[in-house]
Amino acid sequence: MSFRGWLGVAKLLPGSSRRRPLVVTASPKTNTRVAVNMAEEAKKLAAYAAVDNHVQNNQVVGVGSGSTIVYAVDRLAARVRQEKMNIICVPTSFQARQLIVQHGLMLSDLDRHPELDVTIDGADEVDADLTLIKGGGGCLTQEKIVAGCARHFVVIADYRKDSKALGQQWKKGVPIEVVPMAYVPVSRRIVRLFGGEANLRMAVSKAGPVVTDNSNFILDWKFERPHNWKDVNSAIKMIPGVVETGLFVAMAERVYFGMEDGRVQVRDAPID
């Protein structure tokens, strides 16, 4: 049923002589469910478009992390089966590795395949220049490494990630992976340099902090104003104890946005 269809369902009251129409409006819970379904459909559209347009036989493909990438791996596995393709996959996280294995795809790593044809990954937010915030799932370091080894880095996202400027849509801040012993000094330094607040990310189903696939911690830096992201990224990376930032500057070549109306919108990086 369409979004509109869910929102206003008119029924006739049984047993009523005048048969007054009863308008059933969706509860906030139903609205949330509809929005979630639309976002999932949008993720799938973006993921399928990216896999169909950017993956060819005999390629090495970087596999990103998160919930959108799940659709891309589904599509990739279906194409590999149907078209009898020879595709080698390099994961960006433990989750990506599991997806590759569970789908029966060929698993490799950067030791054996340090040069990739394409990496496909999700994002938490994408600005007008295709600067990304990534790391909502805590996998930013491996994601940046694998993206950096690919000839083409393609991003898949739903319409909620599309922003003119970073911070408009994504309110959780820029994830920054840090060596555990350094999280307090790094957090203080970032705030002193750029303002805002940098908080240690806490686990949800475990006591204590989130521990990354690289055994590090994550700081989420909530910034207060727009910045020059290239400069900020370089400056934060210079702080001792910082492993990587979730700012992906001038890396993405193309973003596929799945839209609410079922279209897929494509945005390319600006030409320098």
* Catalytic residue annotation: 143
Q: How far is the CB of 21 from ligand 5RP (least distance, A)?
A: 40
Beta bridge partners of 23: 10
Number of residues that bind ligand 5RP (CB under 6 A): 17
Mind spelling out the 3-state secondary structure of 126-144?
A: ECCCCCEECCCCCCHHHHH
Whichever of 138 and 167 has its CB closer to ligand 5RP, that residue is 138
Answer whether 10's CB lies under 8 Å from 25's CB: no
135 binds ligand 5RP (CB under 6 A): yes
Q: Which of 34, 79, 89, 137 binds ligand 5RP (CB under 6 A)?
A: 137
**3-state SS class at 169:** coil
Contacts of 29-35 spanning 24+ positions with Cβ under 8 A? 30/6, 31/7, 34/3, 34/6, 34/7
64 binds ligand 5RP (CB under 6 A): yes
Q: Is 181 exposed, middle or buried (0-12, 13-18, 19+ CB in 10 A)?
A: exposed
136 binds ligand 5RP (CB under 6 A): yes
139 binds ligand 5RP (CB under 6 A): yes
Whichever of 223 and 248 has its CB closer to ligand 5RP, that residue is 248
Whichever of 62 and 135 has its CB closer to ligand 5RP, that residue is 135
140 binds ligand 5RP (CB under 6 A): yes
Residues 98-127 that bind ligand 5RP (CB under 6 A): 121-124
Q: How far is the CB of 246 from ligand 5RP (least distance, A)?
A: 7
Residues 141-200 that bind ligand 5RP (CB under 6 A): 143
Whichever of 66 and 241 has its CB closer to ligand 5RP, that residue is 66
Q: Which of 66, 91, 167, 258 binds ligand 5RP (CB under 6 A)?
A: 66
Can you tell me the distance from the alpha carbon of 196 to that of 208, in angstroms, rounded to the nearest whole number? Answer: 23
Can you tell me the distance from the alpha carbon of 153 to that of 140, in angstroms, rounded to the nearest whole number? Answer: 14
* Contact stretch for ligand 5RP (CB under 6 A) within 136-144, 217-225, 235-243, 263-271: 136-144
Can you tell me the distance from the alpha carbon of 32 to that of 28, in angstroms, rounded to the nearest whole number? Answer: 6
Q: How far is CA 45 from the centre of its chain?
A: 14
76 binds ligand 5RP (CB under 6 A): no
Residue 230 CB-half CA count within 13 A: 4
Binding interface with ligand 5RP (CB under 6 A): 64-68, 121-124, 134-140, 143
